[in-house]
Amino acid sequence: MRLSILDHGHRRRAKLFFALTARKSGVATPDIVKMLLYRPALFARPLLDLTADAMRGPSYWTAGEREYLAMSTAQLHRCSFCAVTHAELVRIAATGEIDPDDPSSPRPELTAVRTFLASVSQTPGHIDATTVTDLPGQAVIEALRVNLVWDIVNRLANAFGFVLRDGQLETGTRSLHRFGYRFPGFLISQGARTDLGDAARNLRHAVLETPGVTDKAVRSAALLGDTLPEPLQTYATNVRDASYKIIDTDIGELTAAGHSEDTIFEVTAAAAVGAASRSFDAGRRAIDE
């Protein structure tokens, strides 16, 4: 990982959890788990609430189909970590109904919504909603919520340089499927919890309002796509528009400019949540028109 705080900066409860699960499984803690359990109040707690419902809650789409949509979103963001992980989750959750390696295997409804979500993620200003006009509106909204989750996570995984290590694909995917994307409450409890009645709104609120090392104005600019001082401006733009291009030297430039790793963490989270939220909101408007 590109930020040492995501490897070593956790609370004692998280460190104990990492040690116990690693000892039991014989596999090191995956990067995504380390990220989610570092300062979970900033975004991970509301993100996990959203993810559990979107990926394993009641839905028009099967669990395997939702994993297929997650895999497809990861491919759009060129996030190999997430694409490989969700391809494996398709195999686990779909029980043969869909093959992640066969583009002809999805039912027509899934192909239609996948095309719609691609335009939501890639060209939110020019979304073609004609492919989903025959689908139930609630089904499209459920797919948009899946897309929102992974539009965020893919950007974070690319920016922080997630990698899969020996044994993690098998143990990690089976744990995610078994526990339905839920973590024990004691691991993600941190600070006050605000409930605005909608998981997506809770997520945006947390990124902006949770106490941190950066001013709210900085996080707001990263979230909204407003101007930031360089090199934060270039970095936040890449998180939003081309996270797969971020490399180690980009993080090095930020730290050399005097930005702490916590600042980088907060700005990355805000930029990722902001970009994904704009796409989600654009998708909602497209199906309402």
Q: In the chain, what are the domains?
A: 30-289 (1.20.1290.10)
- Please report which confidence band the pLDDT of residue 223 belongs to, taking 50, 70 and 90 as the band edges: very high
* pTM tops 0.85: yes
Percent of the chain exceeding pLDDT 70 equals 100
The pLDDT tens digits of the residues spanning 224-237 come to 999 999 999 999 99
pLDDT digits (tens, 9 = 90+) for 23-77: 989 999 999 999 999 999 999 999 999 999 999 999 999 999 999 999 999 999 9
Looking at the chain, the number of H-run helices and the number of E-run strands are 15, 0
Q: What pLDDT, on a 0 to 100 scale, did the predictor assign at position 60?
A: 98
